[in-house]
Structure 1
Amino acid sequence: MAIRNLLSLNKKKQKGVIVDRNKESSFPADLMTKCPECKKIYLTKELENNLKVCPHCDYHNKMTAWERVSIFIDEGTFESFDGNLRTSNPLKFPSYLEKVEIDALKTGLNEAVLTGIGNVKGEQVVVAIMDSHFRMGSMGSVVGEKITRAIEKATELKLPFIIFTASGGARMQEGVISLMQMAKTSVALKRHSDLGLLFISVMTHPTTGGVSASFASLGDLNISEPQALIGFAGRRVIEQTVREKLPDDFQTAEFLLAHGQLDAIFHRKEMRDKIATLVKMHSKGGVSHV
């Protein structure tokens, strides 16, 4: 009985020292990462070296905006825009600014999108990269303003504009002000298009709500990573509205490609090369506006 009691306490004597196995592990919390899809566990470093794509099931894990820059933009060429813009609280939403500040410290971003200019295999482009680690990539006034300014900069310099979307949609804490960004960004893209300039939209997991219903779907080329969730309303909302069971793959990138709503699905490992080729094909694009 005494031995059982000792075992139940999960302690063991080793050379006169009692080791408590219940004590918190000294391993770093981020040493290992579990794949959300297949549940396999990997060294985080191993996953990062594989561009955060699961080696077992090919699941594309979410990336931060800065991680995306590091794998997409030529090293040493990226220059960010509008890092000084800050969100206000027009509706006096409780604790809103405090939560924004926490995400800013966590991500190193001023808002849920990183914008700037850089080269992709030698071709200069203007990019906007949304980050779902910042308020789930939701679109408020600053996100819309940064994207609009980036589009306008691309138009001014007659450069291609590329956006990587990852968003839960319009930000509820800013109400109709967030919804206005759908129109504002779309108007800027129309002016960009009127000059014959290229816009490539790359939808990553997830791209939903007001973002999917505006600039994310307006690309000259609409591209996605594999298995990305792309849609406007949630699956359950749609099923309750239409009173029908939706296909299992509904709102996946593969479903959208099969139904003509995407032009291509590119694996993360080939995304940079494929987009660089597309940009080169259009590098002489842009016509004088009459």
Structure 2
Amino acid sequence: MLIELPEHDVSRRLTIGGWMLFPRPEDDDLRRLYRSAIQHVRVMRVLKDAGQPVDPTNQKYKWVESGDEIIAVEQDISKLTANETRSALIGSPEKIVEFFDDYENFLRRADIDLLFRKGVVSGLILLVCCAFQNKSVRRYGDGKAGAQKAVVGMTGIGLTLVREYFKDFDGVTHLWASWLLRRFLASDLGVDREMFRGMENRIPTDFMVDADSTEVLGIAKSALAFGRGEINTGISILGGVDAIEFDWPENSPDLMDVLPDGLVEVFEKFRPESKLKR
């Protein structure tokens, strides 16, 4: 499925992040809600950093529609009517969403942690599968099933759930793989086997705020190409998947070339034992 991205980089990042969390085509209202809530979180953060008091009870800020987006604007309290207080219009007049004072907490209560968990699992499976491809003749334990078992060891999540999460997010697994790879490249990989446990709890709600959208798209393009290609087990882990696609950059690095050696070494600790010799 090809998605057209807006021109402005901030809007591009929000759009990509929305699809990463809500990949179903029918979840457009949720993607709009996510973009709007993140914009509000940023407004509140800027006000706080500027030393301006933020008191939700004064109802100074109101959500309004602006084109295809919902934005927070400063509003004279005297001009607010009772039915306008802290509500946002999502999609149509029949769909009114009541916002909580703490928008980030609202998102967390909307099962954002579970969505992050699914994203992390799906992205890890693709990265691990890529890392397990090498020049040696090895077929058992290198494919999607082997990668899923490795992710079970990494995350402590049961195999049934790992498979379910991958199925739910297979259309955006390349986007999560790209995002995770950027995170790993910016971190110290000299860590132990516990580095992946509870990772979804350490992801900020505004997880695309510092991302370079062109870089994310470039690696995601390569990750999708890898997922659709045939791996050394003779299958394609994303074969037949209607993946979310954007206007990809013309040039992008091969996914295997950008996997850092340190990350591959960590993945190798979780590689399932093979019944066949190399």
- Pick the TM interval, shorter chain: under 0.3
More helix by share: 2
Which fold has the larger relative contact order, with Cα–Cα distance below 8 Å and residues 6 or more apart in sequence? Answer: 2
Which has a greater percent of strand? 1
Q: What TM-score results when the alignment is normalised by the length of structure 1?
A: 0.22
